[in-house]
Amino acid sequence: MRAILTSHLTVSQPLDLAASLHSGQAHRWEAVEGWHWGVISGNLIKIRQAQGDSPDHPYVLAFSSVPKVEPGYLESLLWSYLRLDDDIESIYREITRDPRVAVMVERYRGLRLLRIEPWECLISFICSANSNLPRIHANIAAISEKFGQPLALEGHVRYTFPSPERLAEATETDLRVLRLGFRAPYVAQAAQAVAERKLDLEALRHTPYQEAKARLMELPGVGPKIADCVLLHSLDKLEAFPIDVWVRRALREWYFPSADSDGGQGPKPPPDRAMLEWAQKHFGPYAGYAELYLFHGRRLSR
C-alpha cells in the first residue's frame, strides 16, 4: 500500500482549529489522538494544528487525505473551508466594538466561521430543528453511511455525504428509519428540490441576503433560523444572524434585560424578527461572526 504523505499549510492569523471544527457548525469531525478526522467535499481528511516556525507563521496545519488529488487542491479546499481568506483582524475590530462580543473574542480568539458545502449544510441544519448536537451528528453520520460512498485512510472508514440526486431517491420512510423523526419529509423534499434544479444553492452565493433567505424559506422545514444558518455557514452571508435558544437567551439577558426578568410584569421580550433587525444594525456587516462568538460563549458557560 502506498504511503499517504502528510502535507503542511502555514497560517499567519488567529486560528483555533479544534474549537472551530467542534463548535457545532459542522457535524462530521471526530477527534482521535490529537488528529481531527472529517469529510469535506468527498475527501476524507486527517488534520491537526501545530506551532509554526516563525512569528510570521505562528501555526502549521498538517494533514493527509484520500482520494489522491492534484497538488494544491487540498490546500485551497482547507483554506476555503476554514475561511482563511477572511481578514479576521478587521472583522474582530468591527464586532468587538460591542463589549460583550469583545469578551468572547478575547476568550475564544481563533474560533472561525467555516465555509461548509451548501448542500450538506442545508440538510444538516434541517436536521437540527428541535434537536441537539450529538443527535444531529448521528443523523448526518447515518445519512452518509446509508447513501454516501466509503473512504478509507489508515484504517479509518468514513462515508461521503450523498449527492442531492442520490438522497432524492430516499423516501420519507427510508429517512425515518435513520431516526430523523418529523424532519424526514423535510429532508426528502429539500433533496428533490435541489436534485430537480428547482433550487440552485450555489447561485444563492451571489444573490442578495434577503432574496436568498426568502428562496431558502420556500423549502418546508426551513424557517428564518435555519435559513440564516445556511446563509452564514455556507453561502458567505456574514450579515446572517441565526437566533437559536442560546442566542435568544444571550440577547434577552444582555441586551434587553428588562424583558422577562421580573416574572412577566415588564415589557415582553422582542420577537426574534425584531431582535434580528436590531442585531444586524448593532453588530454590523459581520453580525454572523458576532453571533458565532455569542453562541459559543453562551453554550460553553452553561
Q: Looking at residue 158, what DSSP letter applies?
A: E
Total residues in contact with DNA, by rule CB under 7 A: 37
Q: Which listed range, 63-71, 88-96, 98-106, 179-187, lies at the site for DNA (CB under 7 A)?
A: 179-187
Single residue of 91, 191, 227, 231 touching DNA by CB under 7 A? 227
Q: CB of residue 292 vs DNA: minimum separation in angstroms?
A: 8
Instruction: Express the helix, strand and coil content of the chain in percent, nearest 5 each.
Output: 50, 15, 40
What beta strand segments (E) does 103-261 contain?
A: 150-153, 156-159
- Please check whether residue 164 is in contact with residue 129, taking contact to mean a CB–CB distance below 8 angstroms: no
Assigned C-alpha cell, 272: 426574534
Single residue of 25, 65, 144, 280 touching DNA by CB under 7 A? 25
215 counts as binding DNA under rule CB under 7 A: no
Q: Which of residues 116-175 bind DNA (CB under 7 A)?
A: 125, 128-136
Single residue of 13, 182, 267, 301 touching DNA by CB under 7 A? 182
**Beta carbons within 10 angstroms of residue 131's beta carbon:** 15
Q: CB of residue 127 vs DNA: minimum separation in angstroms?
A: 9
- Please check whether residue 178 is in contact with residue 138, taking contact to mean a CB–CB distance below 8 angstroms: no
222 counts as binding DNA under rule CB under 7 A: yes
For 10, half-sphere exposure in the C-beta direction (CA atoms, 13 angstrom radius) is 8
Q: Which are the catalytic amino acids? A: 225
Q: CB of residue 8 vs DNA: minimum separation in angstroms?
A: 28
Q: 90-129: string of b/e by CB count within 10 Å (b at 16+)?
A: ebbebbbebebbeebbeebebbbbbbbbbbbbbbbbbbbb
23 counts as binding DNA under rule CB under 7 A: yes
268 counts as binding DNA under rule CB under 7 A: yes
C-alpha closest to that of 91 among 229, 230, 293: 293
Q: In which residue are the cell numbers 453561502 written? A: 235
51 counts as binding DNA under rule CB under 7 A: no
Site string for DNA, 70-109 (x = CB under 7 A): ----------------------------------------
Q: CB of residue 181 vs DNA: minimum separation in angstroms?
A: 3
The residue ranges that bind DNA (CB under 7 A) are 23-25, 125, 128-136, 176, 179, 181-182, 217, 219-227, 229, 244-246, 268, 271, 273-274, 295, 299
